[in-house]
A and B are shown apart, each in its own frame.
Chain A
Amino acid sequence: MEPTEETVTDEALMASAAAGDRKAFGTLTRRHLRRSIALAQRVVGNAADAEEVAQDAFLQIWANADRWRGDGTRFTTWLYRIVVNRAIDYKRRRSFAPLDDAGEIADPAWSAETVIDGIRIGAAVDAAIAALPERQRAALSLCYHEEMTCAEASEILQVSVSAMESLLVRARRVVRARLQPLIRQKDGARS
């Protein structure tokens, strides 16, 4: 029985795309575009740049489709590696972004009522994550928010598993330290 568009694997579609099949590439793009945009947005921090990163990543994949070897590598590993690398490059190039683009910094003077406001806590957490170095942010996004295993994420970032763990430890520690005033206030409000 022939596999349908829904059942055909990413790797088979990529092999067809490598042979110049635009339809197969279109199917692959539709399948992974949304998650790629979301991943890019976690790294670059805003929607417009994330769209550009995802677009560039897919065009790069098409341009280099003939380099796809399919030697056991998962297509998604290759795709997310390109997305993350482009997002990191993009973020570095835009490191001097206008002040208006910067996230809101957690204000330690918030009242207890404000602290329990989930939206504001979310904004503070977003700002703390946005202030992380790119690779730490990417590590956190892949392992925590995209729920990949450390091994998968380390393949995407092209580091060893122990280096990936170090990135995660540092990222979590920094986020925690930046949000410590919120935690203290929340604890104070409880007591």
Chain B
Amino acid sequence: MTLKEFKRYAAAYGADLDRWPRSTRVDALTLLDDSAEARDLLADAAVTDTLLDAASTPLVSSRREAQVYARIADCLSQRVVPEFVPWFLSRPPFRPAPLAGFLAGMAVIGFLSYSQGLVTFEKTSTPNLSGVMIVSYLGDVR
């Protein structure tokens, strides 16, 4: 381990070698034996560690924990009956399989209805276009 690498690890993990990546610890100890500069770097990191140790620890009392738990349970009990959302309005990701099945089913029903004569398509009479021609003619005159 180079001194530069040692400095980087000390700056990231602090002076407690137990926090360092396991693979680096032996090399770090060897360097500490050999280098006064490494020892100074570790002592400097220890100062920052001491400061961080002075930070207050958030206290979560049992009462506070129970209150939050009760609120979570309350929210869950209000969600017992899920809101009905039809599958075709469901949120992404888009579900192509049910949609394809639905369209295929409709196509089969349509085909069977037509082939069994349930639905017929009668030809409509040819429209009388004389009125249209008159309108068109009048438009042209104007």
Query: What residues of chain A have their CB less than 8 Å away from a CB belonging to chain B?
Result: 22, 25-26, 29-30, 33-34, 37-38, 41-42, 47, 50-51, 54-55, 58-59, 62, 118, 121-123, 125-126, 128-129, 140, 143-145, 149-150, 165-166, 168-169, 172-173, 175-176, 179, 182-183
Report yes or no: B54 in contact with A122, Cβ–Cβ below 8 A.
yes
How many residues of chain B have a CB within 8 Å of chain A?
A: 28
Report yes or no: A55 in contact with B55, Cβ–Cβ below 8 A.
no
Report yes or no: B11 in contact with A55, Cβ–Cβ below 8 A.
no
Query: What residues of chain B have their CB less than 8 Å away from a CB belonging to chain A?
Result: 8, 11-14, 19, 21, 45, 47-48, 51-52, 54-58, 60, 64-65, 67-69, 71-73, 75-76
| Pairs A-B, 4 closest by C-beta atoms | A41-B58, A165-B12, A168-B12, A38-B58
- A22 and B76 in contact, given A33-B68, A172-B12, A175-B51 (Cβ under 8 angstroms): yes
| Contacting residues, chain B, for A173 (C-beta < 8 A) | 11
| Contacting residues, chain B, for A183 (C-beta < 8 A) | 47, 51
Q: How far is the CB of B97 from chain A (nearest CB, A)?
A: 17
Report yes or no: A33 in contact with B58, Cβ–Cβ below 8 A.
no
Report yes or no: A29 in contact with B72, Cβ–Cβ below 8 A.
yes
CA distance A121 to B51 in the complex (A): 8
